[in-house]
Each structure stands twice: as C-alpha cells, then as structure tokens.
Structure 1
Amino acid sequence: MQPDTASSAALPDLVDSHCHLDFPDFDGELDAILARARAAGVTRIVSICTRPRSIAKVRVIAEAHEGVFWAYGLHPMSVTEEAPETLDHLLEVARHPKLVAIGETGLDYHYTPDSAPAQQAQLRLHIEAAQETGLPLVIHARDADADMEAILQEGYRRKPYACVMHCFSSGPRLAEAALEMGFYLSMSGIAAFPKSQDLRKIFAGAPLDRILVETDSPYLAPPPFRGKRNEPAYVAHTAKAGAQVFGLSEAQFRAATTANFDRLFRKAARAAQAA
C-alpha cells in the first residue's frame, strides 16, 4: 500500500519534523522515498543525526536535496559508545546553513539505565548548545520522566530555550511541564496505534499551537503500515489521526502543524522563504 497521493494533492503541505534518512534501511532508495514524500504533500523533512560518525552522511543528504534539513546531537543510548560531545563541537556543527536543531539528546532509562549519569551530563551540555545558538532542542525521553522534567526545568530557569519533545509518549506530568515552558509535543505513529488512548488524551489536552508531527522513520510506522518500515510519506497518516484527536479536518491540522514547525524551526522557515 502506498500513500493516497490523489487526496494529498488537494491538502496543505506537511512536514516530517523527525526522521533518520541516513539509516541503512533507506540505502539505495532515497530518491524514491523522497519522491513518495513529495507526492504525499510532505515538502520538508528534518533528518536527525544521532552520533558524530554519521555527520558527514546526514549533511550530504541535506545538501543534496531541496527541502531536507538536518539536526545533530549525541543520542542518549550512544553516550557510552562515542566520545563525549563538547560545546565547541556542537556550536561548530550548528553553523551549517541547513542544520536547524540541536539533538536528539535526552534520557533513556528503558534500554540504557546504567549510563544515566553520562546521559544527564550530555543532556545539560546540549541544552547549553541550544541556549547559545538559539536553535530548538530535540528531546528523546523514555522511562525517565522525573529526571527529564528536573533537568529541562533547571536549564530553562537559567536561560529560556526552545524545545520539542520528539515522539512524545511519556506521561501527563512531563507533558504539562514541557508545555508550561512553551515546548512542543511531537506526534508520531504511536499516537495512531489502537491502544494509545491515554496518549491521545494527553495530546487532546495540549494547545494545538504546540503540536508537531513526525515519523521517526524507519521506526514506528502508523496504521495501516504498522510493523513495516516507516518512511516520511507516512506522516500523512499520523496527521490524519491527529486531526481526529483535535476534531479538525486534515487540512486544518496540516496547516496548524506546519505553522508550528515554522515557528519553532525558524532557520528552516527562513531557508524555505529564501528558496
């Protein structure tokens, strides 16, 4: 099954705010994948680099494709596999014209609880980079809500910064804390899963102007592709589910989340206006 490009053509543009185009799942197919995304109305994509060894590959993909941007951070699950990031290096990478965010960074106590102290140190460093650059921070949070809330608030009290809680699937308290700081919650395919009623309730209680959509592809494909490789075109299915959560038409929800993206990812918005 492919995206319904006939119906997508009549709808407002859509953004996949978080995916991983450099992952081997897409090797040799990138042109076709991007073509399907465009056919589904996805005109901009942010490809996330999660470790320094991948910077060159992600950067080249962004440079080669109109509408593709990138972000960089050391993923919390990789902090023991890579040299610790430094503020100077993060600031250097951030100077690239298509680098639009810091991260993903964060805390993952589900798969890598033993490295919690290193994850926390790196999270604080990435927060500082976001504060220094003015770029939004992209947060990964899994089974670490209390520490995540405390560290994000600690940094925000020191100096406010912009942030998106990527692939949000945490509890209502972390959602409330993030929204109080003006952060964004990003809706992935998880929000469209049949058993995600509690998560949809959290999204429904959030302001519409703080919602983004993403695929996190190649992971977390929404229905009807669940269990298969995800790709940027499928963000249209998550947006359809999001429209239902907010009681909106697909067109209204697409327009709202794209406007939210432009407000948060200002560097990407400026690049699109200049193109």
Structure 2
Amino acid sequence: MWIDTHCHLDAHEFGGESLAVAGRAADAGVGMIVIPAVDRHNFEAVAQLAGEAGNASYALGIHPIYVPNATEDDLAIMRRAVEAALADWRFVAVGEIGLDYFIPMLCEPAMREKQEYFFREQLRIARDFDLPVLMHVRRSQDQVLKHVRQIRPAGGIAHAFNGSFQQAQAFIDLGFKLGFGGAMTFTRALQIRRLAVMLPLESIVLETDAPDMSPAWIHPGRNSPEYLPAIGEMLAELRQLDVDRVRTATMRAAVAAMPRLSALLRDTTQA
C-alpha cells in the first residue's frame, strides 16, 4: 500500500470533505494517512478525524508557524496529551514540530530563539516517551540537526526535505527518513529530483502535505492524499524502478520511521 506520511487532512481547505477525501485516497491505494497537529487547539480534531477515517493515524505537536502565539501552558498541555494518546493505537508520532527560517517574522532574533526553545522542549517530550518526530525543516536543516544531535528522539522524518546531500546524509546517519512529495513532480525542481534519485530508497518516505505542496498537474490547486500514488509513480520514473518496488520500499521506510504504524497497518489489512 501507499502511505501518506504527512497530510493536514483536518485543514479548513477541505471543508466538510475530509472523510470523503480519505475515502477517495483509500480507493486510489493509499492505505494510511498520517495527520499531524499544528497546535494544541487541533489536537482533538486530528485524533477524532483519524478515528473516523478508516485509513488514518495522527501526531501531536506545535508547528513553528504557531509558536509566536504559543505559551508554556501549551507545552504542558501537549505533554499530557501525548502521554494520554499513548493508549490510542492511531497515535504514531510527535509532530509537526521544527524550525522555519523562511517566513520573515519567524526569522527575527526573538522569534528564532522562541522557535528553538519550543522545538527543544518538544524533542524532550518525544524522547521522554520514546516517540519519533515529524519535523518541519524549511531553510533550517543545519539548526534542526544541531538540536536533534543534542536531544535524540526515536527517529522520525525530515518533512519536505530540500537540503544538500551532506545534510540529507546527516539526517540519515541520525536515523531519520526524508519526506518527498509534490515538489518532486516539477521539472524545474532539479535539486529535489537529484536527491530523490541518488539517496538510498530505504531512506525516502512519500507525503503530500495536503492541502499544500500540490503536484505539477494540479498546481496551484488544492492538494489531496489521493494524488500520492501518482507522486510515487513519479519517484519510480525518476529512479527507473518498478512502481511496486517503490511502493513497498516507501511503505517500509514509513513504518521504520513510525514503528507504531506496524500494528495499525496489520489491523487495517486484516479488517
């Protein structure tokens, strides 16, 4: 099966269609969609949506874009929510967390410092509960690497990876997988395509980041997890591999990155 390792299925862009979108993705062969939270206000929403969809799981975290309005109380709430979620078989990771040094407001010194503080505290939560992390690394690969070397979670994914080969290898050496999605489908995305071809296949997972990061054939329209198989086919074409091999390899990489998926997928396939 295909696994979408990063999809904001609860986003307002989907309106009331989230479950229908998940159903269409299932019909297209997407056996699992991982829905990351972005702040404490949607912790309950992603958990509920994952429970209602037949092919979804979720992660809990505070996205760097939401850090400006986040407080210490949010971190305490997150820790309690993560501990409680361990009893939920659909809970698979801490995320989306990380650093964003692309948005100008987030690059101001005080906000960079706050981002790093929240990232480190969330890494500690993941480490304390032996959980992988789904990491936002936009223009911040080296800084993210610095922090995960100091506070080591149980692996995870560098989401929407677009760094150098050296940075990619550093993440791989630390036990992380690298997320590739719609950006790979653009012919002008030369560096991303080179990475997709040259990195070890077992280190690559697929994602849509829907409703964002739409692939070339629908850009700038709304992205959807139902497009993941076509994104996987593009990876197979770029690497000149059989599609089945890419599907199996990226599924195994996703399970390696998020081991709690293993029991969930076993239950799903037996249902």
TM-score (norm 1): 0.89
> Secondary structure at 1:50's aligned position in 2?
coil
Q: Deviations over 1:74-96 (max 9, x none)?
A: 00111111223137335325423
Residue of structure 2 equivalent to 1:233: 226
Residue of structure 2 equivalent to 1:75: 63
> Could you tell me how far apart the structure 2 residues matched to 1:246 and 1:155 are?
34
Q: Which structure 2 residues correspond to residues 100-249 of structure 1 after superposition, within 5 A?
A: 100-111=92-103, 112-114=106-108, 115-156=111-152, 161-249=154-242
Q: Is the Cα–Cα contact under 8 Å of residues 47 and 71 in structure 1 kept in the other structure?
A: yes
Q: Is the Cα–Cα contact under 8 Å of residues 16 and 46 in structure 1 kept in the other structure?
A: yes
> Secondary structure at 2:221's aligned position in 1?
coil
Q: Is the Cα–Cα contact under 8 Å of residues 90 and 129 in structure 1 kept in the other structure?
A: no
Question: Structure 2 unaligned runs (5+)?
Answer: none
> What one-letter code is carried by the residue in structure 2 that aligns with 1:70?
Y
Q: Is the Cα–Cα contact under 8 Å of residues 22 and 55 in structure 2 kept in the other structure?
A: no
**Residue 274 of structure 1: CA displacement?**
3.2
> Secondary structure at 2:69's aligned position in 1?
coil
Q: Which structure 2 residues correspond to residues 24-43 of structure 1 after superposition, within 5 A?
A: 24-43=12-31
More displaced stretch, 209-218 vs 119-128: 119-128
> Could you tell me how far apart the structure 2 residues matched to 1:116 and 1:199 are?
26
Q: Deviations over 1:103-136 (max 9, x none)?
A: 1111101111121111111111222222222221
> What one-letter code is carried by the residue in structure 1 that aligns with 2:50?
A
2:264 to 256, 268, 271: 271
Residue of structure 2 equivalent to 1:22: 10
Residue of structure 2 equivalent to 1:89: 80
> Could you tell me how far apart the structure 1 residues matched to 2:159 and 2:255 are?
16
> What one-letter code is carried by the residue in structure 2 that aligns with 1:234?
Y
Q: Is the Cα–Cα contact under 8 Å of residues 83 and 129 in structure 2 kept in the other structure?
A: no
Q: Is the Cα–Cα contact under 8 Å of residues 57 and 90 in structure 2 kept in the other structure?
A: yes
> Secondary structure at 1:38's aligned position in 2?
helix
Q: Deviations over 1:125-159 (max 9, x none)?
A: 22222222222111101122321221122223xxx
- Closer, same or farther: CA 94–120 of 1 in aligned 2, 3 Å: farther
> Secondary structure at 1:218's aligned position in 2?
coil
- Closer, same or farther: CA 66–32 of 1 in aligned 2, 3 Å: closer
Q: Deviations over 1:151-193 (max 9, x none)?
A: 122223xxx6212101112233321210111210011101111
Residue of structure 1 equivalent to 2:244: 251
More displaced stretch, 176-185 vs 86-95: 86-95
Identity of aligned residues (%): 27
Question: Structure 1 unaligned runs (5+)?
Answer: 1-12
> Could you tell me how far apart the structure 2 residues matched to 1:60 and 1:255 are?
28
Q: Deviations over 1:188-208 (max 9, x none)?
A: 101111111111112322211
> What one-letter code is carried by the residue in structure 1 that aligns with 2:172?
L
Count of aligned positions: 260
Superposition misfits of 4+ residues, deviation over 6 angstroms:
none
> Secondary structure at 1:273's aligned position in 2?
helix
> What one-letter code is carried by the residue in structure 1 that aligns with 2:255?
D
> What one-letter code is carried by the residue in structure 2 that aligns with 1:120?
E
TM-score (norm 2): 0.90
**Residue 32 of structure 1: CA displacement?**
2.3
> Could you tell me how far apart the structure 2 residues matched to 1:188 and 1:198 are?
13
> Secondary structure at 1:19's aligned position in 2?
coil
> What one-letter code is carried by the residue in structure 1 that aligns with 2:123?
I
Residue of structure 2 equivalent to 1:261: 254
